[in-house]
Amino acid sequence: MVTLPTWLQAVLPLATGLLSAGGAFLGVRHAARGNDRATKQREVAARREEWWRRFTWAAGLALDELPAKRVTGLKLLGKLAQSELAERDECLLLDVFQGRVLDALLDDLTQRSDGGTTDT
């Protein structure tokens, strides 16, 4: 059997304790970072969900029969397009949607200025 010097016998339990505490600290830190990432992902998902609710509200206004509400809806859609939550696909959707609503609004205004008649 090998006998260790006295100083080494005193240091080994201390080193073991320090290594255990360090490992526990790293484990907790890693778990906390994972929780932070999950929390951020939930927050972004909630913000994007709220963005979509606002989009549907603004789209409803943009499709209203009253021109003033349509204009308000289009302005709101323009503001939504400027949000950092609006990614490429949402911007494309907004562009197409606004174009069609604007075309319908212009057609409606043209028909009203012509006295409600259209050329056929």
What confidence tens digit (pLDDT) does each residue in 35-72 have?
788 888 899 999 999 999 999 999 999 888 888 898 89
Q: Is the dihedral of CA 55, 57, 60, 65 positive or negative?
A: negative
The confidence score (pLDDT) of residue 58 equals 92
pTM for the predicted model, two decimal places = 0.59
Quick one: pLDDT band at residue 29, thresholds 50, 70, 90?
confident
The confidence score (pLDDT) of residue 120 equals 47
Percent of the chain with pLDDT over 70: 95
DSSP string spanning 59-85?
HHHHTSSSHHHHHHHHHHHHHHHTSTT
